[in-house]
């Protein structure tokens, strides 16, 4: 039945291209409205709490190192606070970077990425290059007000 329906839809769109185009646009809009937009919501919160998107999209070439440093310090502090409220990111490993560690047989490749000159099967002995990160708490709200799903931050207009 699925294949027959697909052929009928194809020939219908071939006869009436405008209706086919309209169908695809409506379908795309439905996917945007109903899909997982957590990445957009996270950007919204980082923009609201720290103006992260403004900072990243700003052309900083004309600013002095001191000006950039001051801005980075504030954005870093505010992003860290916002992220902690929403996600609580913690290191995967307790050891300090540079420490010698053992990677056991049956390790989880989603948690440990083996790099370098890998020979044979685990267990492996190596140096911890990066501790990794994991989301301890995930409390990203499902929706932000009544704004459109693709809008990260509305334009602000001051009336005088």
31 found inside a domain: no
For residue 70, tell me if it sits in a domain.
no
Average pLDDT, the chain: 83
Helix axes 17-34, 2-15, angle to 10 degrees: 120
Phi, psi of 125 (to 5 degrees): -110, 135
Residue 34 pLDDT exceeds 80: no
pTM of the model: 0.59
* Alpha helix segments (H runs only) across the chain: 2-15, 17-34, 38-50, 52-57, 65-86
Comparing 108-112, 128-132, 148-152, the range with the smallest average pLDDT is 148-152
113 within some domain: yes
Per-residue pLDDT, averaged over 123-132, amounts to 95
Domains: count for the chain: 1
Question: Smallest Cα–Cα separation from 111: which of 121, 103, 99, 120?
Answer: 103
> Cα(120)–Cα(110) distance, rounded to whole angstroms?
20
Q: Residue 105 domain-assigned?
A: yes
* Domain residue limits at 125: 92-135
Residue 79 falls inside a structural domain = no
Flag whether pLDDT at 27 surpasses 70: no
> Considering the domain boundaries, does residue 121 fall inside one?
yes
């Amino acid at each position: 039945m699925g294949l027959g329906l697909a052929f009928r839809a194809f020939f219908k769109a071939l006869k009436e291209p405008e209706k086919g185009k309209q169908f695809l646009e409506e379908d795309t809009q439905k996917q945007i409205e109903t899909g997982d937009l957590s990445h957009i919501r996270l950007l919204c919160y980082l923009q609201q709490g720290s103006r992260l998107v403004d900072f990243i999209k700003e052309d900083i070439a004309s600013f002095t190192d001191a000006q950039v440093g001051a801005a980075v310090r504030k954005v870093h502090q505010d992003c860290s606070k916002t992220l902690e409220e929403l996600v609580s990111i913690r290191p995967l490993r307790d050891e300090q970077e540079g420490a010698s560690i053992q990677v056991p047989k049956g390790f989880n490749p989603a948690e440990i990425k083996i790099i370098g000159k890998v020979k044979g099967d685990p267990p492996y002995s190596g140096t911890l290059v990066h501790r990794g990160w994991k989301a301890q708490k995930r409390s990203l709200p499902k929706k932000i007000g009544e704004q459109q799903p693709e809008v990260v931050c509305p334009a602000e207009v001051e009336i005088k």
